[in-house]
Structure 1
Amino acid sequence: MTRHPNRRHLIATAAALVAASALPAQAATWPNRPLKIVVGFPGGSSPDLMARLIAEPLAQALGQPVVVENRPGAGGNIGATAVARATDDHTIGLMINGNLTIAKILNPDATYDPLKELTPVSLLATAPLVLTAPLSAPADGAAFLAAARQAGDKWNYGSPGVGTVAHLGMEVLKSRAKLAPVHVPYPGNPQVITAMIGGQVQMALLPPGLAMAQVRGGKLRAIGVTSPGRSSVVPDVPSLSEAGVQNLQLEIWNAVAAPNSLPKAHVAKLSALLVDIVRRPEIREKILAQGWTVAGTNAEGLARRIQAETPVLADVIRRNQIKPGG
């Protein structure tokens, strides 16, 4: 039997190539050597998995190798700084909310300013967070929150760094549910998971893909998601609103950004190709399997998201008096 290529995929690819061909001549000959995707989190983290998922199809589209380089630490800001400082026209970054919004607001001494030194390329995918706990924790959401309330500051919670949405979101949850666990930052979520399994932390807000892999493996317990209702990404996990937490809506995202020094023609080429890649049915399915919903916006769409979210996250920082290293 003759197999026919997916027509929608071919049409989308053709459209991306037409868009790229309409760009200035300098974009047509770029890149002329391997492209580097810097990830500010360790291997196995959600941004790392996303970067490795798009690397191969992006390499095929560009005709050059695409290399993923992990530069973990400071909630992804070490990697983001490396991208902001890059001047080789062949370095981009896969980043999370905080790296592109409140890095300078959180820490005025930060070595880069995302709003001035990074150029949006594409918002790839979004997801709610899953409140996750050790297996010893109560399975019922209301019972778990009651136990956390009683434990007060004897419990800890982990996050992949100060200023990440997992950190800021937990501070919001603490105020809404009258909790008092102490924040313990880690280089990335894999270390948070290890600490939770080992009993060093009693809860964390994790991306769905990472959380549910541990839940299905019988190592952790999913308490609830941070969406107003149940999420299609993890439909079997109740919303935290079902446990009595009101007005909680938190979302994480993965996006690609570039240094301001990258010519606009190259940014436009990358944006068009990335939108095509993440919207391909086979890639969309893999992203969903990782616990994400495809966004697939162009550079302007990501810029709008940054503009809308920055003041919201900044308000959480100011109201909770969150400082670097705290």
Structure 2
Amino acid sequence: MIHRRLLIAGAVAASLAAPLTGWAQAPYPSQPIRLIVPFAPGGAVDQTARTISNALGERLGQAIVVENKPGASGTLGAGELYRAKPDGYTLMLALDSQAVNHHIVKNLSFDTFKDFDYLSLLVTTPQILVTRNDLPPKTIEEFVSYVKAHPGTAYGSAGTASAGHVNSAQLSIIKQLQTTHVPYKGAAPLLTDLLGGHIDFAFAGLSVMLPHVKAGKVKAIAVSSPGRSKQLPEVPAMNESIPGFEFPTWIGLVGPKGLPAPVREKILKAVHDVMHDPQVERRFADNAFDIVNSSPEVFATRVRKDSDIMADLVKRKIVLAD
């Protein structure tokens, strides 16, 4: 009798555990995926998220929920990712500032290199030097002369240590300009203040500034790409006046460290398919993005490289002295 009761109890326990076991082993993904955008809506990172989210969700079979978490040059969003479980249900789109924030943002809760999985550098977009419309300069030479005659000319960036900050700071040091840096929580609020006349100029992603340049709302001076942009062929490249001047905006997909191998591979496969989807390719091209879709190894190397560039700028007090 005792033996029979034990058998029955075991069978009941097994039947109760079966649904739980099945739930724990549900194939990834079995619920919506959170995609952190660590900047305000409207900027290049947000544009990228909106471009890929639906297509990525279709390939993974779950909704991609875009969540803007602006602040501290992207470190607030990166902190959210660091605290997330490495289960594939929380990912982030990182801006170039992700590679360099550790040099200038104090008391970070995470290690930039050890605590994240750099999955793929997705896209780049040239930086473009723009001024508010009522500023007289039309060329880079005229711009330099104007700023020298007006010390303290204010420029905005999408955040401290962003590509826009680095480009503006480097231009200031190369041409010995006295400028004032105004950091924002992304390119969209920067653009609002530029249009409102509260700042004088900015380096920002061409993807964000292109429609406003074409509409005549801001004045384009030069682009930071190796050559002229197909979208704005009449606008010169910076390196036509300053050889080697190039530091584009990049955006990549990042996960928390420790993603299970099958989950990681599924994400990478889905991302590759999305970035080679003709409709997605066309949308990126129309908005002045260049698709990269690098391997994790290439992305991690780029992060290290940009970190080294910023380390040199900090050492020489180029960024912090402006």
Q: Which interval holds the TM-score relative to the shorter structure?
A: 0.7 to 0.9
Looking at structure 1, the residues matched to 37 and 266 of structure 2 have their Cα atoms a distance apart, in angstroms, of 21
- The alignment's TM-score, normalised by the length of structure 1, stands at 0.86
1:186 maps to which residue?
184
Looking at structure 2, the residues matched to 258 and 228 of structure 1 have their Cα atoms a distance apart, in angstroms, of 30
Matches within 5 A, 1:85-234: 85-87=83-85, 89=87, 90-99=89-98, 101-137=99-135, 138-153=137-152, 155-232=153-230, 234=232
Shift of 1:233: 5.2
RMSD: 2.0
2:244 maps to which residue?
247
Shift of 1:213: 1.1
Count residues in correspondence: 297
Cα pair 1:233 1:293 within 8 Å, conserved: no
Work out which of the two has the higher radius of gyration on C-alpha atoms and give 1 or 2.
Answer: 2
Q: 1:152 to 1:207 in 2, by over 3 A?
A: same
Cα pair 2:130 2:219 within 8 Å, conserved: yes
Q: Secondary structure of the residue that 2:209 maps to in structure 1?
A: helix
Cα pair 2:123 2:251 within 8 Å, conserved: yes
Cα pair 1:104 1:112 within 8 Å, conserved: no
Q: 1:253 to 1:28 in 2, by over 3 A?
A: farther
Looking at structure 1, the residues matched to 54 and 307 of structure 2 have their Cα atoms a distance apart, in angstroms, of 31
Matches within 5 A, 1:44-83: 44-83=42-81
Cα pair 2:169 2:318 within 8 Å, conserved: no
Q: 1:27 to 1:44 in 2, by over 3 A?
A: farther
Cα pair 1:208 1:233 within 8 Å, conserved: no
Looking at structure 2, the residues matched to 53 and 185 of structure 1 have their Cα atoms a distance apart, in angstroms, of 26
Q: Percent identity?
A: 28
Shift of 1:191: 0.9
Unmatched 5+ stretches in structure 2? 1-23
Shift of 1:123: 0.9
Q: CA offsets, 1:280-311, max 9 Å, x none?
A: 22211101112110001122221222233221
2:258 maps to which residue?
261
- The alignment's TM-score, normalised by the length of structure 2, stands at 0.87
Unmatched 5+ stretches in structure 1? 1-25
Cα pair 1:208 1:234 within 8 Å, conserved: no
Q: 1:114 to 1:264 in 2, by over 3 A?
A: farther
